[in-house]
Protein backbone atom coordinates (compact mmCIF):
# COMPACT_ATOMS: atom_id res chain seq x y z
CA UNK A 1 0.00 0.00 0.00
CA UNK A 2 2.90 2.33 0.68
CA UNK A 3 4.35 1.76 -2.79
CA UNK A 4 4.91 5.13 -4.46
CA UNK A 5 3.36 6.76 -1.38
CA UNK A 6 5.38 9.94 -1.89
CA UNK A 7 4.19 10.32 -5.47
CA UNK A 8 0.57 9.91 -4.30
CA UNK A 9 1.29 12.52 -1.60
CA UNK A 10 2.50 14.97 -4.25
CA UNK A 11 -0.39 14.23 -6.61
CA UNK A 12 -3.13 14.69 -4.01
CA UNK A 13 -1.44 17.82 -2.58
CA UNK A 14 -1.23 19.32 -6.08
CA UNK A 15 -4.92 18.56 -6.70
CA UNK A 16 -5.97 20.29 -3.45
CA UNK A 17 -6.27 23.71 -5.11
CA UNK A 18 -9.00 25.00 -7.47
CA UNK A 19 -6.58 27.02 -9.66
CA UNK A 20 -4.33 24.02 -10.18
CA UNK A 21 -7.33 21.82 -11.01
CA UNK A 22 -8.52 24.47 -13.50
CA UNK A 23 -5.05 24.54 -15.11
CA UNK A 24 -5.20 20.75 -15.54
CA UNK A 25 -8.69 21.04 -17.05
CA UNK A 26 -7.38 23.60 -19.56
CA UNK A 27 -4.38 21.40 -20.46
CA UNK A 28 -6.63 18.38 -20.99
CA UNK A 29 -7.78 20.09 -24.20
CA UNK A 30 -4.22 20.75 -25.42
CA UNK A 31 -0.81 22.28 -24.68
CA UNK A 32 -0.67 25.90 -23.51
CA UNK A 33 1.96 28.50 -22.60
CA UNK A 34 2.16 30.21 -19.21
CA UNK A 35 0.62 33.36 -20.76
CA UNK A 36 -2.29 31.36 -22.16
CA UNK A 37 -2.75 29.54 -18.85
CA UNK A 38 -2.73 32.81 -16.87
CA UNK A 39 -5.39 34.49 -19.05
CA UNK A 40 -8.59 33.14 -17.46
CA UNK A 41 -7.38 33.91 -13.92
CA UNK A 42 -7.27 37.20 -12.02
CA UNK A 43 -3.73 36.27 -11.07
CA UNK A 44 -0.23 37.51 -11.84
CA UNK A 45 2.07 35.38 -14.01
CA UNK A 46 4.41 34.72 -11.04
CA UNK A 47 1.43 33.38 -9.06
CA UNK A 48 0.49 31.11 -11.97
CA UNK A 49 4.13 30.04 -12.34
CA UNK A 50 4.15 28.97 -8.68
CA UNK A 51 1.13 26.75 -9.29
CA UNK A 52 2.78 25.33 -12.42
CA UNK A 53 5.87 24.46 -10.39
CA UNK A 54 3.76 22.47 -7.91
CA UNK A 55 2.08 20.63 -10.79
CA UNK A 56 5.45 19.99 -12.46
CA UNK A 57 7.04 18.63 -9.27
CA UNK A 58 4.08 16.25 -8.92
CA UNK A 59 4.65 15.11 -12.52
CA UNK A 60 1.16 16.24 -13.50
CA UNK A 61 2.45 18.53 -16.24
CA UNK A 62 5.65 18.79 -18.27
CA UNK A 63 7.35 21.42 -20.40
CA UNK A 64 6.72 21.14 -24.12
CA UNK A 65 9.29 20.62 -26.85
CA UNK A 66 9.57 24.24 -28.00
CA UNK A 67 12.35 25.69 -25.82
CA UNK A 68 11.26 29.31 -26.34
CA UNK A 69 7.56 29.22 -25.57
CA UNK A 70 7.84 26.08 -23.44
CA UNK A 71 4.16 25.17 -23.64
CA UNK A 72 3.03 22.93 -20.79
CA UNK A 73 1.17 19.70 -21.28
CA UNK A 74 -0.82 17.38 -19.08
CA UNK A 75 0.79 14.11 -17.98
CA UNK A 76 -1.61 11.22 -17.61
CA UNK A 77 0.17 8.78 -15.28
CA UNK A 78 -0.19 10.49 -11.85
CA UNK A 79 -3.90 11.09 -12.46
CA UNK A 80 -4.34 7.43 -13.42
CA UNK A 81 -2.54 6.35 -10.24
CA UNK A 82 -4.62 8.61 -7.99
CA UNK A 83 -7.76 7.27 -9.61
CA UNK A 84 -6.52 3.71 -9.12
CA UNK A 85 -6.03 4.41 -5.40
CA UNK A 86 -9.57 5.77 -5.07
CA UNK A 87 -10.95 2.80 -7.02
CA UNK A 88 -10.05 0.57 -4.06
CA UNK A 89 -12.87 2.32 -2.21
CA UNK A 90 -15.42 2.10 -5.02
CA UNK A 91 -17.01 -1.06 -3.61
CA UNK A 92 -17.26 0.69 -0.25
CA UNK A 93 -19.18 3.74 -1.46
CA UNK A 94 -21.32 1.78 -3.91
CA UNK A 95 -22.44 -0.49 -1.04
CA UNK A 96 -23.23 2.60 1.08
CA UNK A 97 -25.31 4.19 -1.67
CA UNK A 98 -27.18 0.94 -2.32
CA UNK A 99 -28.03 0.71 1.39
CA UNK A 100 -29.21 4.35 1.39
CA UNK A 101 -31.39 3.63 -1.66
CA UNK A 102 -32.91 0.62 0.09
CA UNK A 103 -33.55 2.72 3.20
CA UNK A 104 -35.29 5.45 1.17
CA UNK A 105 -37.40 2.82 -0.59
CA UNK A 106 -38.47 1.39 2.79
CA UNK A 107 -39.36 4.87 4.05
CA UNK A 108 -41.50 5.54 0.95
CA UNK A 109 -43.42 2.28 1.44
CA UNK A 110 -43.96 3.05 5.13
CA UNK A 111 -45.20 6.57 4.29
CA UNK A 112 -47.67 5.14 1.76
CA UNK A 113 -49.04 2.66 4.28
CA UNK A 114 -49.53 5.41 6.90
CA UNK A 115 -51.54 7.67 4.58
CA UNK A 116 -55.29 6.92 4.60
CA UNK A 117 -56.73 6.23 1.13
CA UNK A 118 -58.13 9.45 -0.40
CA UNK A 119 -61.92 9.47 -0.57
CA UNK A 120 -63.59 9.39 -3.95
CA UNK A 121 -60.40 8.30 -5.69
CA UNK A 122 -60.29 4.93 -7.36
CA UNK A 123 -57.86 2.52 -5.77
CA UNK A 124 -55.86 0.19 -7.95
Give me the residues that bind its own copies (CB under 8 A), please: 1-2, 5-6, 8-13, 15-18, 21-22, 24-25, 28, 74, 76-77, 79-80, 82-83, 85-90, 92-93, 96-97
Shortest CB 123 distance to its own copies, Å: 39
**H-assigned helices in 1-124:** 5-15, 18-27, 34-38, 45-57, 76-87, 90-114
Shortest CB 38 distance to its own copies, Å: 18
Shortest CB 122 distance to its own copies, Å: 42
Phi and psi, residue 83, nearest 5°: -65, -40
Q: Which of residues 98 and 109 has its CB atom nearest to its own copies in the complex? A: 98
Shortest CB 111 distance to its own copies, Å: 25
Q: Which of residues 99 and 109 has its CB atom nearest to its own copies in the complex? A: 99
Residues 6+ positions from 24 with CB-CB distance below 8 Å: 15, 55, 60, 61, 74, 79
**H-assigned helices in 63-89:** 76-87
74 vs 59: CA distance, rounded Å = 9
Q: Which of residues 21 and 70 has its CB atom nearest to its own copies in the complex? A: 21
Amino acid sequence: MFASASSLDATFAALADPTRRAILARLASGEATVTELAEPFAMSQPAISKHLKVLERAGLISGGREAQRRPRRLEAQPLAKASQWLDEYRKFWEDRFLRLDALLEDMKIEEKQKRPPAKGRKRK
